[in-house]
Structure 1
Amino acid sequence: MQQDQHPDYHPVVFRDRAAGYAFLTRSTARSEQTIEWDDGRTYPVIDVEISSESHPFYTGRARSVDTEGRIARFERRYGAADTDEAI
């Protein structure tokens, strides 16, 4: 078996600047910046733009779709369905 094939896997803090949230996990990512964590140890810190704390899918703040406008546009384009017709 070959030695030294895998990168160093170590604790790293990922910090979401938009949400003001940071979490400690293990990763192969490297950073020159460090941060002192709650346990008193110093870990490398990596700033990210989006994490689960600020992503619209996970927070429920996803953009809302204008359903009424889409239906009205469909009816204008293809004509309103006649609701008096018997099916």
Structure 2
Amino acid sequence: MKKGLHPENYRQVAFKDMSNEEVFITRSTINTKETIEIEGVTYPLVKLEISSSSHPFYTGKAKLVDTAGRVDKFMSRYGNRYKK
């Protein structure tokens, strides 16, 4: 491996999922302006729109999208052109 390729300044950072307010702490080099206090310790804070704790793929709660209307509309316009 090349020397000096990876950053040396990893630190504990809190990531907060804004959709369900879940917070998890991991090591990162990301720069942040906000902080959060968890159990008396202050961590840099990164706000996320979605994470594995709220993503439908990981939670198993997939949101249904109304595609039937779109498919029917497409088929009525273009679907039966080569019908004999």
If the length of structure 1 is used for normalisation, what is the TM-score?
A: 0.64
1:45 aligns with 45
**Equivalent in the alignment of 2:76:** none
Q: What percent identity do the matched residue pairs reach?
A: 44
Q: Which runs of 5+ in 2 are unaligned?
A: 73-79
| 1:60 corresponding residue in structure 2 | 60
Q: How many residues align?
A: 74
CA distance in structure 1 between the partners assigned to 2:25 and 2:19 by the alignment:
17
Compute the RMSD of aligned alpha carbons: 3.1
Aligned-residue offset at 1:63: 3.3
2:58 counterpart letter in structure 1: Y
Alignment map for 1:75-86 (pairs within 5 Å): none
Structure 1, unpaired ranges of 5+: 78-87
Q: TM-score, normalised by structure 2?
A: 0.66
Q: Of the two, which has the highest radius of gyration? A: 1
Report the equivalent of 1:18.
19
